[in-house]
């Protein structure tokens, strides 16, 4: 049991026992151990940059299955262990889609809450992490669509520096554009403007392709789409991204011309 369950275990919302109300068999009360509620737990929210999280997290599915069985039987510490095992990956996915820590945590929480309520429907023997990843990606997609629907926009005008940087990058004939450490923050801010201008679907596909570095087949499995559908959507998403980038550079060019005209006139 993680952190060691003690007799002073606190129950969820102080109800004393956790009636699963149909989700779990009523074989016992489920209480949270102190480690679950503790503030000292250290779980990495940030993925390593080389995406080793996805590859290193290959575990024996039987271990996860045993924990799931125990959770379904009412052992809350087992669910806690499942979270501990897989939170790194879940946070990593959410972080690829969103930059703000609050949003990332919200997505992670939603993912674990949904997983908890759907645990009985999880097919034993399959990869639990993959199952969680599906839930998490779908949560991210829902959030992107919600934001688009609300018309939420974070687009602000690019600074002169950012515009020049973007144009310089585009002017280079380089197959691989390498970004230095000092450039990353600026690039991320421009990326935020770029991504906000894209449709939710394009953003989903491009993030899975470039940030998550998933193959077409992996995306197809993750989203439950056919590979052909993924390819078509990726093609459209790239087209959308190119247009959005063109718009950003055009705006910058116009601004620059305007400044030049003003300078000449004055």
Partner 1 sequence: MNCREVKRQTRGGALQSALVSEVRAHLEACAQCRRRTSLDRLGASLIRAYAEPRADEGTSPRSYFFTRLRARINEGHATDASLNFWEAAVIAGRGWLLAFGAVAALLFAASLSSLHLQASRYATGPDLSVEALALPSGSENILIANGESLSHDAVLMTLVPEDQEHGRK
Binding site for partner 1 (CB under 8 A): 12-13, 15, 18-22, 32, 36-39, 41-47, 49, 83, 87, 91, 95-96, 99, 101, 105, 108-110, 112-113, 116-117, 166, 169-179, 183-185, 187-188, 190-192, 194-195, 206-207, 209-212, 235, 238, 241-242, 245-246
Q: Shortest Cβ distance from residue 53 to partner 1 (Å)? A: 12
**CB-based contacts of 169: which residues, under 8 Å, 6+ apart?**
177
Between 1 and 188, name the residue whose CB sits nearer to partner 1.
188
Q: Shortest Cβ distance from residue 170 to partner 1 (Å)? A: 5
Could you tell me the two tokens for 8? 């002073």
Q: Shortest Cβ distance from residue 149 to partner 1 (Å)? A: 21
Q: Shortest Cβ distance from residue 260 to partner 1 (Å)? A: 23
From CA 213, how far away is CA 219, in angstroms rounded? 10
From the list 8, 7, 31, the residue with the least C-alpha distance to 19 is 31
* Residues 175-209 as b or e (16 or more Cβ within 10 Å = b): eeeeeeeeeeebbebbeebbbbbbebbbbbbbbbb
Between 61 and 162, name the residue whose CB sits nearer to partner 1.
162
From CA 79, how far away is CA 30, in angstroms rounded? 10
The three-state secondary structure class of 32 is strand
Between 117 and 126, name the residue whose CB sits nearer to partner 1.
117
Q: Shortest Cβ distance from residue 254 to partner 1 (Å)? A: 18
Between 111 and 134, name the residue whose CB sits nearer to partner 1.
111
Q: Shortest Cβ distance from residue 37 to partner 1 (Å)? A: 6
From the list 59, 69, 57, 53, the residue with the least C-alpha distance to 122 is 69
Sign of CA dihedral 71, 75, 78, 84: positive
Between 50 and 265, name the residue whose CB sits nearer to partner 1.
50
Between 175 and 265, name the residue whose CB sits nearer to partner 1.
175
Q: How far is CA 150 from the centre of its chain?
A: 20
């Amino acid at each position: 049991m993680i952190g060691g369950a003690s007799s002073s275990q606190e129950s969820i919302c102080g109800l004393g026992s956790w009636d699963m109300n149909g989700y779990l068999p009523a074989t016992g009360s489920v209480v949270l151990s102190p480690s679950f509620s503790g503030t000292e737990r250290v779980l990495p929210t940030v993925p390593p940059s080389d995406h080793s999280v996805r590859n290193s997290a290959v575990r024996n599915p039987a271990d996860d299955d045993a924990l799931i069985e125990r959770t379904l039987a009412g052992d809350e510490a087992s669910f806690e262990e499942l979270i501990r095992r897989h939170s790194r990956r879940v946070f990593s996915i959410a972080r690829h889609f969103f930059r703000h820590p609050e949003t990332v945590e919200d997505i992670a929480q939603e993912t674990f809450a949904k997983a908890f309520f759907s645990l009985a429907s999880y097919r034993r023997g399959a990869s639990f992490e993959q199952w969680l990843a599906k839930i998490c990606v779908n949560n991210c997609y829902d959030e992107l669509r919600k934001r688009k629907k609300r018309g939420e926009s974070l687009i602000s005008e690019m600074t002169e520096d950012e515009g020049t940087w973007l144009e310089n990058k585009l002017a280079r004939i380089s197959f691989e554009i390498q970004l230095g450490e000092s450039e990353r923050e600026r690039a991320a801010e421009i990326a935020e403007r770029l991504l906000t201008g894209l449709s939710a679907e394009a953003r989903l596909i491009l993030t899975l392709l470039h940030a998550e570095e998933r193959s077409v087949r992996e995306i197809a499995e993750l989203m439950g789409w056919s590979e052909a559908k993924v390819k078509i959507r990726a093609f459209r998403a790239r087209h959308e991204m190119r247009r959005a980038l063109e718009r950003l550079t055009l705006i910058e060019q116009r601004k620059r011309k305007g400044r030049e005209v003003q300078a000449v006139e004055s």
